[in-house]
Amino acid sequence: MPMFVHDDFRGPPPLARLLIGKVPVEVGPHIKYLGLTLDGQWGFRRHFDLLAPRVKAVANRLNRLLPNLGGPSAKVRRLYANTVHSVALYGSPIWVQHLAEDDKSLRQMRQAQRRIALRLAQAYRTVSHAAVAAGTPPIDLLAFGHAEVYRRVRQLRSQGAPLTNRAVERVRQEVRRRIVER
């Protein structure tokens, strides 16, 4: 679907259709490409508006498997949390800067992350956000970590360095260590 690029001053684009061959194609205010939604201002707000409910839904489905008391071990809970994080962090090297600059998007993603963090910590929803998040880095730091790993691996490739699994894992460990230090 084609997309109108516009600024905030003129408002959203008018409804329009293009005729490609004999097929009418609707022009919209956003475009979805490879799972990322880009709006008409080259931003990702619409992406987070769609992503946060999806992450919450995945977390809710996994929460049915994780009772607050008893249930699976900490390793299994960590596995489920990583599943939710993988859904949330898809494409993060591309949109991480927008997340840092947009409070609404950051708030949406932190709320979504809180759902799985409650089960990870075996806590009830009345527990404070800070206490729940104590065992999990905030989603924005995880996104910055993914972006940093991507950037450094790309840099190593461009330098022609031999890129083994061991080298990539060392980069990941160093970035994880730096995230924990923050």
pLDDT in tens, 34-83: 888 878 777 888 999 999 999 999 988 888 887 777 777 888 888 888 99
- What is the value of pTM for the model shown? 0.76
**Residue 75: predicted pLDDT:** 86
Domain match, 69 and 144 both: yes
Spell out the residues 6+ positions from residue 51 whose beta carbon is closer than 8 angstroms to its own.
88, 108, 109, 112
Residues (pLDDT < 50) of the chain are: none
**Residue 48: predicted pLDDT:** 93
Domain match, 25 and 65 both: no
Domain match, 21 and 103 both: no
Domain match, 112 and 25 both: no
The total domain count for the chain is: 2
Classify 18 as helix, strand or coil: strand
Burial class of 150 by CB neighbour count within 10 A (0 to 12, 13 to 18, 19+):
middle
**Residue 116: predicted pLDDT:** 84
Residue 54 belongs to domain spanning: 43-181
**Residue 88: predicted pLDDT:** 94
Count the alpha carbons within 13 Å of 110 in the hemisphere toward its beta carbon. Answer: 17
Domain match, 123 and 149 both: yes
Domain match, 163 and 82 both: yes
**Residue 97: predicted pLDDT:** 93
- Cβ proximity of 3 and 30 under 8 Å: yes
**Residue 134: predicted pLDDT:** 65
| DSSP code at position 174 | H
**What values do phi and psi take at 158, rounded to 5?**
-70, -25
**Residue 52: predicted pLDDT:** 94
Spell out the residues 6+ positions from residue 28 whose beta carbon is closer than 8 angstroms to its own.
1, 2, 3, 4
CA-CA-CA-CA torsion for 134, 36, 80, 164, nearest 10 degrees?
A: -90
Domain match, 85 and 10 both: no
Domain match, 54 and 90 both: yes
Domain match, 32 and 87 both: no
